[in-house]
A and B are shown apart, each in its own frame.
Chain A
Amino acid sequence: MEAFLTGIDSLMQPAVLLAILIGSVGGLIIGAIPGIGPAIAIAILLPATVFLDDLVSLVLLLGVYGSSMYGGAIPAILINTPGTPVNALTTYDGYAMTRRGEAARALSLAYSASFFGGCFSIIIALIALFVFGPYLRDLGALFGQRDILMAAVLGGVLLIAAHRQTMGIAALLFAFGFLISMIGRQSTRQIDRYTFDIQYLYSGFNLIVVIVGIFALSQALNLMVGKDDDPPEARITGGLLSGFREIVGSKVITISSACYGTIMGIIPGVGEFVAQFFSYSTARSLSKEPARFGHGSHEGLIASETSNNAVPAAAMIPLLALGVPGEALTAMMMVVFFDAGIKPGPDIFENNPDFLFSLFTALLLINILVLATLLFSTRLIAKMVYIPNRFLGAFIMILSFVGVYSIRNSLTDCIFAIIFGFIGFVLRRLDWPLVPIVLGLVLGSIIVERLTAGAGQIKSAVDLINRPVSGTLFMVILLVIGFIIWTSFKNRRTEYQS
């Protein structure tokens, strides 16, 4: 309990509160502008956070992460363009409602659904912390190097499995990211992988360089090379509070979607897309008017918005508890954790319990702040939606330089960042997923490190899996791989038929 109060206490400083404010409003605007997503914003802000205080920088990034999905619903509803990739399903029902003239109703539904989803997962996480926290400290002894190794491998396998139709490509890109993470030289351990004796490659590729390149610079190139959309201006008339009443009317769907979001967030490697997809399908089967889904059904809108906002808070859990990030954005925030002096992993419940409480309480504050902001300034923010794409692309490119340079003061880093940017650009044009590369980089380094640290106790191959946790995780990995093989055989015949 005192940890809770200490946590709240450290939150109540002016710098932290200012960061929450800037993070939420900034994240909202960033989400509202199609073309910039939280990934790009976090990638660009990451290097800057080194210069700020620990909790301040963390809260800033969290603000961007947690509030961008609120903002992303605005263009999804108004101009049929998702503000962040995660709001894609919102366009179906949201835009249909706008066409019917019900833009305000759609927006207020989206906000209240998002608010509910966000708060739901935060409260679940806080309760879990209160209830299970003390026990988790003892569980720490169960989690050795080999167990976390298995968790990271499971995360990778689940990531690949989640890309149902592009598994081969996801696997290929994941392995590519993995290989890139291994390039480097460690003289004390006689390790020298693929450095070709090039000085620059001795320390390997820095995670932030790759992230800024693959997410931010590739999008900048994509926008600059494309066309400006010129969407018609949508009018928002009417109040924005009606959504709450409608949420209460559809309790079952709201709660089930929030549960999906929370659970999918906790499972590493899965993320918002799958959460949305499952909750949308379940909502449709639970609904009394399934035919309206995709054509302006308020239940569809609730389902997609609730689940995608429930993911951020839940995604922090595997990161904090195991040190294994569940998806790309949390992987990026791991860097900030290290700079803040927090080591994610089973020890965190023992060493920094107040930090956990600050984190989730900050997230709660962010949600509340964003909702309040939205209720007053939607029309203003909606205008942000109309910033021309190509200008935006140029702006992102300029922003990225300063971020990359400040990591290691290396111009070569900047050049590699733009090379990765070009690679990301090519992948975007082909519709190949970008996330596997980043997760390959992050999980790859975790896997290699845990393997070498745990190798001391491995006398024979079975020692890898004869611990309770690693054994269970290994079984799950086998099950998932079996599932992948089974479904791909099932679908083989229908591969080229559409």
Chain B
Amino acid sequence: MKKIALAAALAATTVFAGTLPAMAEYPTSPVQFIVPFPPGDFEDITTRMFAAKLQEVTGVSASVVNRPGGGDGPFPGALEVLNGPTDGSVIGSFVIGVPVVGPLIGIGIEEDSFTPIGVYLTYPFVLATAGDAPYSNMSELAAHAKDNDVVLGHFGAGLAPTKATFAGAALMDFEFADDAAFDMLDCNSLSSGDADVINTTLALIEPCLDDITILANIGEERIGKLPEVATLAEQSGAPELELWNGLFVKKGTPQEVIDVIADIAQQVIASDEGQQLMAETGARLYWEGTAEATARIEADRVNIAIMNELIGD
């Protein structure tokens, strides 16, 4: 008797309090948002807001899982969504690179592998360098780089912002001495000397914004917070490329899933929290549904092809 009680007690000690899902239409089982980058950046923050809202509205447990790909960027995380189910329990929070560059590198992502729920965020993506560097915009960098070694730090060689940077360098006729892929580029990367120029978003360098120089901004418009920093397109003549983040599901997911998540996302963007994030950080939050997002992706594919030619890829 004692041994049974013990064994049963052993089983019982592994019981935890959990949330039981609501019995309704989607969502009925826990939903996971996959963010293919380490925590802390805009896509992570906004996706967490979405997950919290989903959980609040539907009562189903919604969590955010970070799947950083190391130097391989967002692709391992994207593959995880690709290999997941089509019932809406796994949702990807992807940057432009996934649907646009993914099909070009032969890892199993096709042009139609993912259906966009919508595009909602434009990163304030910049080229930054330490405050005491002897250059403060792209042309000065070009002049400096001709005689000195400048090392670029980026999130992965195949990604859109990296390609844009190299295309800009090609057009301005200089070369980076070397480059390295990081999974996190923040104040520490510059202050510890791991790279001379970094490609990063404003969220990651927020704490030291006063100590560093922003050379250029990669996007279609200048960032509201930094009106005196010109875009890379302006300074180098490279094609304009906006770096956005969107929510995606695997092809074949029911429309109901897309509608529910789109609704939640729009609620979050319109809320005070969302507006505050936009005002404070320089990111732009908006909502472009499936049709507009698909059109945008097509346009970006054309631009990337142009850049690939410039770089010689």
Contacts and interface: CB of A to CB of B under 8 A. Distances in A.
B16 A140 contact: no
Interface in B209-253: none
Interface in B52-84: 61, 63, 65-66, 68-73, 75-76, 79-80, 83-84
B156 A189 contact: yes
B18 A188 contact: no
Given A144-B192, A189-B157, A343 B151 contact: no
A454 interface: yes
B131 to A, nearest CB: 13
B18 A51 contact: yes
B178 A187 contact: no
The interface size bin for chain A is 35 or more
A187 B109 CA distance: 12
Contacts of A186: 69-72, 75
B308 interface: no
Interface stretch (A21-29, A150-158, A312-320, A420-428): A21-29
B18 A187 contact: no
A345 B184 CA distance: 11
A51 B194 contact: no
Nearest to A185: B107
B151 to A, nearest CB: 5
Interface stretch (A159-167, A168-176, A254-262, A455-463): A455-463
B156 to A, nearest CB: 5
Contacts of B84: 409
Contact of A455 (B10, B44, B70, B180): B180
Contact of B178 (A144, A456, A467): A456
Interface string A366-392: 000000000000000001101110010
The interface size bin for chain B is 35 or more
B100 interface: no
A453 B157 contact: no
B7 A51 contact: no
A80 to B, nearest CB: 21
A309 B76 CA distance: 38
B112 interface: no
A387 B6 contact: yes
Interface string A452-479: 1111110100000001000000000000
A445 B181 CA distance: 15
A235 interface: no
Interface stretch (A98-106, A116-124, A334-342, A432-440): A334-342
B64 to A, nearest CB: 8
Interface in A199-229: 202-203
A51 B70 contact: no
A449 interface: yes
A343 B38 contact: yes
A351 interface: yes
B195 interface: yes
B164 interface: no
A179 B158 CA distance: 25
Nearest to B153: A456
A343 B40 contact: yes
B283 interface: no
B17 A15 contact: yes
Given A143-B192, A188-B105, A383-B2, A456 B151 contact: yes
B70 A203 contact: no
A482 B193 CA distance: 31
Given A18-B17, A189-B72, A387-B6, A457 B195 contact: yes
Contacts of A395: 7, 10
B188 interface: yes
A143 B189 CA distance: 9
Given A189-B156, A453-B181, A140 B63 contact: no
A384 B5 CA distance: 10
A99 B16 CA distance: 39
Interface string A290-315: 00000000000000000000000000
Interface string A314-353: 0000000000000000000000001101110111001100
Interface of B: 2-3, 6-7, 10, 13-14, 16-18, 30, 38-40, 44, 48, 61, 63, 65-66, 68-73, 75-76, 79-80, 83-85, 105-107, 149, 151-153, 156-159, 177-184, 186, 188-189, 191-195, 207
29 contacts: A19-B16, A25-B13, A29-B13, A33-B10, A51-B18, A52-B18, A140-B192, A144-B189, A145-B192, A185-B107, A188-B73, A188-B158, A189-B157, A191-B72, A203-B76, A343-B39, A351-B40, A386-B6, A387-B7, A387-B10, A409-B85, A449-B70, A452-B71, A452-B181, A453-B71, A454-B180, A456-B178, A456-B179, A457-B194
- Across chains A and B, which 6 residue pairs bring their CB atoms closest together, nearest first? A456-B180, A144-B192, A188-B158, A341-B39, A141-B191, A186-B72
